[in-house]
Amino acid sequence: MTDYDPRLVDLYDLDNPDGLDHDFFRSLADDRDARSILDLGCGTGMLTVSLARAGRTVVGIDPSPTMLAFARRRGGAERVEWIEGDSTASPRNSFDLALMTGNVAQHIPDAAWHRTLRDLRASLRPGGILSFETRNPAAREWESWHAATPTQRETVHGPLVEWMEVEVLDDREVRFDAYNRFAATGDTVVETQSLVFRGRTEVERDLAAAGFEVESVAGDWAGTPFDGRTRLMIFVARAH
pLDDT digits (tens, 9 = 90+) for 145-203: 877 789 999 999 999 999 999 999 998 999 999 999 999 999 999 999 999 999 999 99
What per-residue confidence (pLDDT) applies to 142?
94
User: What is the greatest pairwise CA distance in the chain?
Assistant: 54
Angle formed by the axes of helices 110-123 and 200-210, to 10°? Answer: 50
Task: Identify the helix (H) or strand (E) that includes residue 154.
Answer: strand 147-155
Q: How confident is the model at residue 2 (pLDDT cuts 50, 70, 90)?
A: confident
Alpha carbons 2 and 237: distance in angstroms, whole number: 31
- Torsion angle (degrees, nearest 10) of CA 171, 173, 175, 176: 80
What per-residue confidence (pLDDT) applies to 1?
62
CA-wise closest residue to 117 among 208, 22, 24, 216: 208
Predicted confidence (pLDDT) per residue in 199-240, tens digit? 999 999 999 999 999 999 999 999 999 999 999 999 999 999
Give the length of the chain: 240
209, 201 contact by CB (below 8 A): no
Alpha carbons 198 and 213: distance in angstroms, whole number: 17
Residues 6+ apart with CB under 8 A from 37: 29, 51, 56, 57, 58, 59, 95, 96, 97, 98, 99
Alpha carbons 13 and 47: distance in angstroms, whole number: 10
| Residue range(s) in the chain whose domain bears CATH number 3.40.50.150 | 6-136+197-239
| Residue range(s) in the chain whose domain bears CATH number 2.30.30 | 139-196
Q: How confident is the model at residue 61 (pLDDT cuts 50, 70, 90)?
A: very high
- pTM of structure: 0.96
Superfamily of domain 6-136+197-239: Vaccinia Virus protein VP39 (3.40.50.150)
Q: 3-state DSSP call for residue 112?
A: helix
Burial of 220 (0-12, 13-18, 19+ CB in 10 A): middle
Average pLDDT, the chain: 97
226, 216 contact by CB (below 8 A): no
76, 105 contact by CB (below 8 A): no
Q: Which CATH number fits domain 139-196: 1.25.40, 2.40.50, 2.60.40, 2.30.30?
A: 2.30.30
